[in-house]
Amino acid sequence: MVQRITPRSVDDSAWYTDVVQAAELADYSPVRGCMVIRPYGYALWEYMQQYLDVRFKATKHQPAYFPLFIPQSFIQKEAEHIEGFAPQLAVVTQGGGEKLEEPLIVRPTSETIINAMYAKWIRSYRDLPVLYYQWCNIVRWEMRTRLFLRTMEFLWHEGHTAHATAEGAMQEVLLILEIYRKLCEEELAMPVIPGRKSDSEKFAGADATWTIEAMMGNKWALQAGTSHFLGQHFAKVFNIQFLDENNQLQMVWQTSWAVTTRLVGALVMVHGDDQGLRLPPRVAPIQVVVVPIWKNNAERSQVMGVVERIRGELGKHIRLHVDDRPDLSPGFKFNDWELRGVPLRLEVGPKDVSKAQVVLARRDMAAKHNKSVVPLDRLLPEVQKLLDDIQHNLYEQALRFREENTYYPETYEQFAEAVNKGFAIGYWCGSAECESKMKEETKATIRCIPMEQDGKPGHCIICGGEAKEKAVFARAF
């Protein structure tokens, strides 16, 4: 029943697919390009949803819901937007048995349909800011499926806001980026680099895109969340105007932002190992799994007595699961829960009962160094301490991994080598020519121009010309 997983060192891509399926996070569906998110994977997404929902509401954002279908003519209104999305559209041409006069697009993002409504609702400065978001499904045509990371349909939230001033919109962009950064670093234990996208990498229809970029286990980058400053692109196209305090007509300034179910895939790739998942305790659907150990009925009733006590005491504070499946061996169960990435395993056998103790085994450390014996009367504080420690340790491991695989090349030759081994950090003059030359020659892209810069000018790693800022270059999913 526990499935074989291709070792990570042999084939990272096969390893990833094996883990996602064997741990029952997701599965392929009969519809090419679409996946099924299974309950264990959905629980990870649900945790992120709830985390974000609380923070969005605390910052006065409101959930709403806009239609799945967008008239073809709407999506064509903003020139860059349609250029970016045209190759990815799914089109409904028949409905209720008849051919449609105007085809409907299944939303690839909702700027056009939402801004058509904003034009109707927004009248006065009193209506601003409008801070709406929705949780929904999105379709972008895509046949090279990679579970969670690249699928035709995925889940996300998308925020769409309208502000009276450019400054108000820009504050929003950064407020959201910081919420995303915290989600990734503090909850998913995944270090990210916040920064700005180059023009060629920004969202189709935005003035500027802000991003957080993470390093995956194969040393490629993954864009983990984006927050777009839309300027007045859509406001102009959809004519979203308001009367300001001086009774003058003004156009709104806008943002949009999203994170998607690909974050579940990121969790797998950042923390997983040859045994399977390793989940950070904060996001883990099961934080502690209890495996009772016995050989006969007398032992069983002894052990289960203690297990029930543990369930009662710990279950109120942490997400606990007791694996009392009768016909499986403890060894099988250990492997099974390691595969599923449960941070802490709690073993109780007859000997432990007689000594009023249990054994705790950490998922984040190598076997033989990962066990401790804990007296029952110290269990809760010890478990809480270990969970905190695992959370911290997974973050530190991921950060160290990124640092060890980040290069600061001094020549273009070194650079071209570096981007195939990890992240390369170097000056970029800002020209699209350098960017596309580099992309063509190395297959890397500019992941972002980090917000953190040392302020000193330098020389472009590609052309040698003057450069003000450093960029992060890498291969990316």
Q: Which residues in 419-458 contact a copy of itself (CB under 8 A)? A: none
Q: At what angle do helices 39-58 and 262-271 cross, to 10 degrees?
A: 110
Q: Which residues in 219-258 contact a copy of itself (CB under 8 A)? A: none
Q: Per rule CB under 8 A, is residue 95 in the interface with a copy of itself?
A: yes
Q: Per rule CB under 8 A, is residue 93 in the interface with a copy of itself?
A: yes
Per the CB < 8 A criterion, the answer to whether 286 and 320 are in contact is yes
Residue 149: closest CA among 224, 237, 231: 224
Site size toward a copy of itself, by CB under 8 A: 55
Q: Per rule CB under 8 A, is residue 143 in the interface with a copy of itself?
A: yes
Instruction: Tell me which stretch binds a copy of itself (CB under 8 A): 96-104, 168-176, 224-232, 465-473.
Output: 96-104
Q: Per rule CB under 8 A, is residue 62 in the interface with a copy of itself?
A: yes
DSSP annotation string for 281-350: TTT-S-SEEEEE--SSHHHHHHHHHHHHHHHHHHTTTS-EEE---TTS-HHHHHHHHHHTT-SEEEEE-H
Q: Which residues in 22-51 contact a copy of itself (CB under 8 A)? A: 27, 29-31, 34-39, 42-43, 45-46
Per the CB < 8 A criterion, the answer to whether 422 and 406 are in contact is yes
Instruction: Tell me which stretch binds a copy of itself (CB under 8 A): 61-69, 177-185, 354-362, 378-386.
Output: 61-69
**How many angstroms separate the CA atoms of 272 and 5, rounded?**
12
In sequence order, what are the beta bridge partners of 241?
251
Provide, rounded to whole angstroms, the least separation between the CB of residue 225 and a copy of itself. 20
Q: Which of 15, 16, 51, 132 binds a copy of itself (CB under 8 A)?
A: 132
Q: Per rule CB under 8 A, is residue 318 in the interface with a copy of itself?
A: no
Provide, rounded to whole angstroms, the least separation between the CB of residue 76 and a copy of itself. 14
Q: Per rule CB under 8 A, is residue 94 in the interface with a copy of itself?
A: yes
Q: Which residues of 457-468 are buried (b: 16+ CB within 10 A; e: fewer)?
A: eeebbbbeeebe
Q: Per rule CB under 8 A, is residue 388 in the interface with a copy of itself?
A: no
Provide, rounded to whole angstroms, the least separation between the CB of residue 155 and a copy of itself. 7
In the DSSP assignment, the letter for residue 364 is S
**CB neighbour class for 48 (10 Å; exposed up to 12, middle 13-18, buried from 19):** buried
Q: Which residues of 347-367 are buried (b: 16+ CB within 10 A; e: fewer)?
A: bbbbebbeeebbbbbbbbeee
Instruction: Tell me which stretch binds a copy of itself (CB under 8 A): 59-67, 182-190, 248-256, 448-456.
Output: 59-67
**How many angstroms separate the CA atoms of 475 and 477, rounded?**
7
Q: Per rule CB under 8 A, is residue 373 in the interface with a copy of itself?
A: no
Provide, rounded to whole angstroms, the least separation between the CB of residue 263 and a copy of itself. 14
Q: Which of 7, 21, 153, 384 binds a copy of itself (CB under 8 A)?
A: 153
**How many angstroms separate the CA atoms of 254 and 114, rounded?**
12
Provide, rounded to whole angstroms, the least separation between the CB of residue 21 and a copy of itself. 11
Element (H, E) at 197: none
Q: Per rule CB under 8 A, is residue 329 in the interface with a copy of itself?
A: no
Contacts to a copy of itself by CB under 8 A: 27, 29-31, 34-39, 42-43, 45-46, 62-71, 74, 86-97, 103-104, 106, 113, 116-117, 120-121, 132, 136-137, 139, 141-143, 152-153, 155
